Chains A and B, each alone.
Chain A
Amino acid sequence: MSQRVLDGTVARYCLALGDDALVLSQRLCQWAADAPAIEEDVALMNIALDLIGQARSFLSYAGVREGCGRTEDDLAYLRDERDFRNVQLVELANGDFATTMTRQLLFSAYQYELYEGLSRSSDEEIAAVAAKAFKEVSYHRDHAATWVVRLGDGTDESHGRTVAGIHAAWPYTAELFEPLDFDAALVGLVEARIAVDPASLHEPWLGYVTSVLTKATVEVPSTTWAPAGGRRGLHTEGFGYLLAEMQHLHRSFPGATW
């Protein structure tokens, strides 16, 4: 792989990692001032802020490796829907609190395994960001698991909502572990030990998620429907609205600051 191709490929990989964090952060922010308790409001916003920090690191680095002079802001605010590389799981609507927490559990458990692997990346920048982010997502995963166990093993009402939340999100988890073979150069990154093979994360992820769901008295869904395409720029209907809300200020008033 020539240096120029390598740079472009690393940029695309980091774009996907950054977009996952950015989009989930934007979704979580919709809970601001609307969480079940003020304590939980702060907890959710802390998680969203951690994710923004991860997004900034990965998007900035993607801009550097891309070499076209695009900043983190350019990448976050001036790309259109089809240019975003996040998985569809992170763009799913928040739904009720149980739905948000089950989505968080499934995604944070994935990020936990992912960053653990990436902290040994042969790319030093990626390894450093992942090592720092690993500590953050360890807490996100723990926080989500704490709630899923309580809601799942709680009242009939909370149990029902947790089951509904798991069923809504579960099909979208398949995409997390899809091979990167839609982009041959990305497969090369895995071989160069810069990127992590997504398929290798599935087993530890499933082990952890199963242990939490078992404690929560919630069955692991056995659905086979597996929507995908986020990594290739195909997104769900709600994603355009999310982007519009996130981007409109910057697009209406370019460079606005306060």
Chain B
Amino acid sequence: MDRVTISGIGLVSPLGADVAVTWEKIKAGERASVSLLTSPLADHDFPCLTVPRDAARDYERHPRLRRSSEISHFAAIAGMNALRDAGIEPGQEGIGIVFGVSSGGVRYTTRFYSDVVTSGAATASPLLFPETVYNAPASHLAALLGLDGISYTLVGDSVVGLSALAMAVDLVATGELEHCVVVACEESEWILCEAFRRSRFFVRSDVTRPFGGPGNRGTIFSEGAAAVVVSRTGSIEIEAVHRGLPFFKNREAGTALQTVLHDLGTPPEMVFTGANGTAFDDAELAALDSVWPQAERSNIKAALGESVGASTLQQTVLATHLLRSGSQQRAGISAIGYNAMVSGAILRRSA
């Protein structure tokens, strides 16, 4: 692959909006505190890890963002911090953006439709609807950057961050872009928790236990954003990133991930796993045991929860941070999505 690098990183999570501080907290075994999301339509609340309000205020008065949902704020903060980290000025020529989201602006979507169902279509809000489109967060970041070129939003399950990274690598490697800001983001909402509960992914507990073995299976949902700047110069190279593979039956997930890990090449020294306490952990474990058995395993979801659309790029950001610190030479990322996609990547510190 042509030399493509990560030149900047940014992160918003339930543990804050500072990459280094977040990593130190995770290493110290700290976990984000649990909030309860109240459902107006169910008889129960949902435990969830939410971003502290103080960590998402940077753009709350910005004209473009003052009416937008939290997901756009998370994305703007992570994206702008990544650009700053890369030393790139907004407005510079040759910058594009690729977003990855899973449920997008689900809070406004739920509010909008709730109003339609409860009060009738005549009361539907023209202010809410535009914020429900998947590419609204990307549009807001494009406005902050003064961008007039490429802006793509990808939608998918929890591997969508890696899909976005793979697309960015294509855009930079082909010379279409000089720098690509990749952002993956998600906001929490009770209806997502209810949907995942119905799909048996959700655990009504304060704790997620990745690779925790049988019993008490399920994940605790969270929110946030991650961003990386993909360039041609920078200290962390993207050695390989997979475009991802689908699986059509859940029992095929492990085999699909094995294929992905094989395709990525020589095993890394350590891997940031995507395990989140659900039944897919077994498939990921089997694939890692088979293809990357020697790689030391690290997991951020016990601390940060399952942020779905943001999750694999959060893994990528923290892997980049770790490599920058010099303690490892190569780090992998692996993930199985809840809806039939697997993916992976390998990053390495430049010699």
Q: Do A and B bind each other?
A: no
Residues of B within 8 A of A (CB): none
